[in-house]
A and B are shown apart, each in its own frame.
Chain A
Amino acid sequence: MPAVQETIDRVAAIDVDKYKYGFVTDIESEKAPKGLSEEVIAFISAKKGEPEWMLAWRLEAYKRWKTMTEPEWAMVDYPPIDYDSIYYYAAPKGTSAPKSLDEVDPELLRTYEKLGIPLKEQEILAGVRKQGEPSDLDEIAGDAPYSRVAVDAVFDSVSVVTTFKDELAKAGVIFCSISEAVREHPELVQKYLGTVVPTSDNFFATLNSAVFTDGSFVYVPPGVRCPMELSTYFRINEQNTGQFERTLIIADKGAYVSYLEGCTAPQRDDNQLHAAVVELIALDDAEIKYSTVQNWYPGDAEGKGGIYNFVTKRGDCRGARSKISWTQVETGSAITWKYPSCILRGDDSRGEFYSIAISNGRQQIDSGTKMIHLGKNTSSRIISKGISAGRSSNTYRGLVRANPKAKNARNYTQCDSLLIGDKCAAITIPYVESRTGTAQFEHEATTSKISDDQLFYCRARGIGEEEAVALIVNGFVRDVIQQLPMEFAVEAQKLIGVSLEGSVG
């Protein structure tokens, strides 16, 4: 009977083998000794050729971390992490400082190509085609496939390559790995590092401060609109390693930058830790747009393996009229613990948070945002769409706060949850705190399932059930997808289809 076969296929298809980035790159790597100690931190610092102040900063954080306890308040459940069985540093051999793409191990380039990040092609394309010069291809394909994105590719603990560096330098934009920035631009790093997420911030951020290995550094000088999208692609490859990247983005007065972040990891049976810190600083009239498509390996259908994604992301609208916008599509990771936030310090500053969080299988997501209104006439907007399927749990946790001096603060929050199946959970925990009568806060949240009427409407028009669900879900998340840069919007839409496969029936 066809129906039976269909059911079998569907059951077989649930979650397992849906993760297409689960391959491992066979490449020799160099690691720090397992576990965490002052020696390991000194090893990492030495590997990166860091100045003494950086090592002192790390050791200070480590000292503090030893006194801290792991947070337990999140709606996630996982066995205790043995911090002594993790490798805190792993680098593909011979990639310590490639000068150009030609020096990069072809195996690595192939890995990125497989992930859909063709580092080489883009660079070559740019070389042939001078800036602004029209090309025959434009007419055929439009801008999208050839739009240029500068990529910083981070493989385990090191940045293997950063493309378009020279061209960006012409505009005065500094885009490099954070290790390089510590060496080349110590004054900027010292001025801004840890000013948004201090080393004492929280357990995972403090751990990151002690052992961070690589990540991106961006500085956009006053009045400069960054000529292209900047992007970092994170890849965990080694077994038993943690990835602790640190990203620092500074938009000086009147500057604009759009930054994209993507990530994947191989399919492995044990859990791996990813504890990143991202700091954004927007000075007067500056704007930073930060977009993430998070697709770490989520584990299999039974919850075996997967990445623990414990990330601290925070933006500081330090200057007047500055703006920071976070957009995230969360589909991967076994556990996500992540609250990209905005501190609205400058008068008339604005914070935005757009999020799609999709959980399936046994994934657990506890994510949301914080909007802290400190300056006058600040405004913020939160749109969060959570979709739970399988046996997953999806929590939105958010804080909106206006301090007494935050006159005329405005916030609008909308968080909607969609449940697919009766074994999953959708949880909404918003904190709305207003300490001034001039602040206007609005919050609304809904939880529902895909309505039978909508589904029936699609089915009656010959659309398959799964396709219909994907269609309805894409409509549900449209508000957020629209905020994504073109390159990511397409990928995100596909990801939503993949993540939900097998969730109906």
Chain B
Amino acid sequence: MSAAQTEAERTLAALFESRSASFTKAPIDAARADAFRRFAANGLPHRRVEAYKYTDLKARLRRLPEPAGPADNARVAATLAAHPPLQEGATRVLIANGRYHGAIGETIGGIRIASLLGEGAETEGVGTLVAASDDPLTLANVGLFEGGVSIHVDAPSARPLEIVHVANDESLVMGRIAVFVAPGASANVVERVIGGRDAVLNTLAELTIAEGARVDWIRIADGASEASTDLSSLHVRVAERGRLEHLTVSTGLGLARAQAFAHVAGDEADVNFRAATVAIGKRHADNTLVLRHDALNSTSSEVFRSAVGDGGTAIVQGRILVAPGAQKTDARMMSNALFLDETGEVVNKPELEIFADDVQCGHGATSGDLDEEMVFYLRARGVPEVSARRLLAEAFVVEALERVTDEALQDKLADHLRGALDVMGGKTWS
């Protein structure tokens, strides 16, 4: 570990010591040891690490809460009951304090679910997508995860999946997910974090989309408190004609960093990322995407919508890399940020790295306050100014939900975003 080791880094090192005591000679354990060694060599990323320039974790996480033990069944049940699934008929996959909570080797509607660690664990293929990663959050999770779930989707699935992370207050949790979607299969996933005041979550998800498969994945990060931290890393590989529709909805308080590392590996694959962020008050919301096109005729698009007010921060970093030979790539990224008042901070860092010539790539980034002409238009039609501004701000953020196909879900998410905008309460809207 680097010379000036922080208390948080010492906590992580101690945690590794205790967890590695039970490591076997299995490949997954060797990978864990290797990953943690690589994480420890540099420690928590800080602002001099380019990818973390705007989210300095070394400074923000000086100390970490205690790692959580297995969750209390009654409390988990109560939490779940208080938060019904967002999609009707959804199969819930529960990860409580980082550990899979459910029957081992369950098969529900063509979906096979297993634990990642412990009895009956299924680890085949797990770790493939992160083996070459040098992202510190990914490495920390691979080294330290306390459990998680592997999900195999082998057929077009009618039933949506809801992966729920539940964490004790003031705890450190590192759950892990691996999802494999077979050729031609489809999956519809909502991933949410419920509760966990002042908890620090560092979640890792691996998603493998085989030929012709389709995945819709929505991640909802609703920070529970100023001291809560939600770090998540998604590594996804999309094969030929595969398709991904991803959406991040980020609201609430505290620190959130949603990372996605997407590898467009198959020809004619189509990958789309959307993000709706409301960062009001003590919220630091960071959306970071690294997307690599490695095949012919593939397409990708991104739309990031962020509303910032009352000193909140929204960071968007989007890097699109078109590898040599990835001809006919069409990649487009747009990031728009709206200031709800004069305060706060917006950073856009859209990057293009193009190594093939026959491509169409572009990005756009804007930040600013509402267009006064639009406000005027509404006022001229009798809408009071406050309502006009509110209406426009809502419409601005909600637009990022346009690719959500389930209308009922889209409505719920829109309501959720409207609710988040309410927090401005007494300041802008009244």
Q: Write the residues of chain A forming the contact surface with B, with a CB cutoff of 8 angstroms.
A: 73, 404, 407, 417, 419-449
Chain A: CB-nearest residue to B365: A443
Given A430-B365, A434-B346, A441-B365: A449 and B358 interface contact (C-beta under 8 Å): yes
Cβ distance A75 to chain B, nearest Cβ, rounded Å: 9
Contact A447 B362 (CB under 8 A): yes
Chain B: CB-nearest residue to A437: B339
Contact B347 A432 (CB under 8 A): yes
Known: A422-B357, A430-B351. 18 other contacts (CB 8 A): A417-B352, A422-B327, A426-B354, A429-B351, A430-B348, A432-B349, A433-B346, A434-B345, A439-B367, A439-B368, A441-B365, A442-B364, A442-B365, A442-B366, A444-B365, A445-B364, A447-B359, A447-B362
Provide the bound-state CA to CA distance between A430 and B360, in Å.
18
| Cβ of B342 under 8 Å from chain A | yes
Cβ-neighbour of B350 out of A425, A426, A443 (below 8 A) = A443
Contacts of A431 in B (CB 8 A): 347, 349
Contacts of B358 in A (CB 8 A): 422, 449
Provide the bound-state CA to CA distance between A374 and B220, in Å.
37
Contact A73 B50 (CB under 8 A): yes
| Cβ of B98 under 8 Å from chain A | no
Contact B357 A444 (CB under 8 A): no
Provide the bound-state CA to CA distance between A428 and B343, in Å.
28
Provide the bound-state CA to CA distance between A407 and B339, in Å.
13
Given A443-B350, A444-B364: A433 and B345 interface contact (C-beta under 8 Å): yes
Shortest 4 CB-CB distances between A and B: which pairs? A437-B339, A440-B368, A419-B357, A446-B362
Contacts of B346 in A (CB 8 A): 432-434
Cβ distance A391 to chain B, nearest Cβ, rounded Å: 11
Contact B353 A427 (CB under 8 A): yes
Cβ distance B131 to chain A, nearest Cβ, rounded Å: 26
Can you name 20 A-B pairs with beta carbons within 8 Å?
A407-B342, A417-B354, A419-B357, A422-B357, A427-B351, A427-B352, A430-B349, A430-B350, A433-B346, A434-B346, A435-B345, A436-B343, A437-B309, A437-B368, A439-B368, A441-B368, A442-B365, A444-B365, A445-B350, A446-B361
In the complex, number of A-B residue pairs with CB atoms less than 8 Å apart = 121
| Cβ of B341 under 8 Å from chain A | yes
Chain B: CB-nearest residue to A395: B353
Contact A432 B367 (CB under 8 A): yes
Contacts of A426 in B (CB 8 A): 352, 354
- Count residues of chain B with CB under 8 A from any CB of chain A: 38
| Cβ of B125 under 8 Å from chain A | no
Chain A: CB-nearest residue to B314: A434
Cβ distance B386 to chain A, nearest Cβ, rounded Å: 17
Contact A420 B357 (CB under 8 A): yes
- The 8 A CB mask of B318-358 against A (1 = contact, 0 = none) is 00000011010000000001011111111111111111111
Cβ-neighbour of B341 out of A428, A437, A440, A443 (below 8 A) = A437
Provide the bound-state CA to CA distance between A448 and B327, in Å.
11
Contact A432 B348 (CB under 8 A): yes
Contacts of A420 in B (CB 8 A): 357
Contact B355 A445 (CB under 8 A): no
Chain B: CB-nearest residue to A446: B362
| Cβ of B112 under 8 Å from chain A | no
Contacts of B352 in A (CB 8 A): 417, 426-428, 445, 447
Contacts of B364 in A (CB 8 A): 442-445
Provide the bound-state CA to CA distance between A100 and B55, in Å.
59
Contact B361 A438 (CB under 8 A): no
Contacts of A430 in B (CB 8 A): 348-351, 365
Contact B343 A448 (CB under 8 A): no
Provide the bound-state CA to CA distance between A428 and B363, in Å.
10
Contact A449 B357 (CB under 8 A): yes
Provide the bound-state CA to CA distance between A443 and B336, in Å.
10
Contacts of A421 in B (CB 8 A): 357
Contact B369 A448 (CB under 8 A): no
Cβ distance B146 to chain A, nearest Cβ, rounded Å: 36
Contacts of B355 in A (CB 8 A): 424-425
Provide the bound-state CA to CA distance between A160 and B30, in Å.
67
Provide the bound-state CA to CA distance between A446 and B365, in Å.
12
Contact A445 B363 (CB under 8 A): yes
Chain A: CB-nearest residue to B54: A433
Chain A: CB-nearest residue to B50: A73
Chain B: CB-nearest residue to A428: B352
Contacts of B369 in A (CB 8 A): 437-438, 440
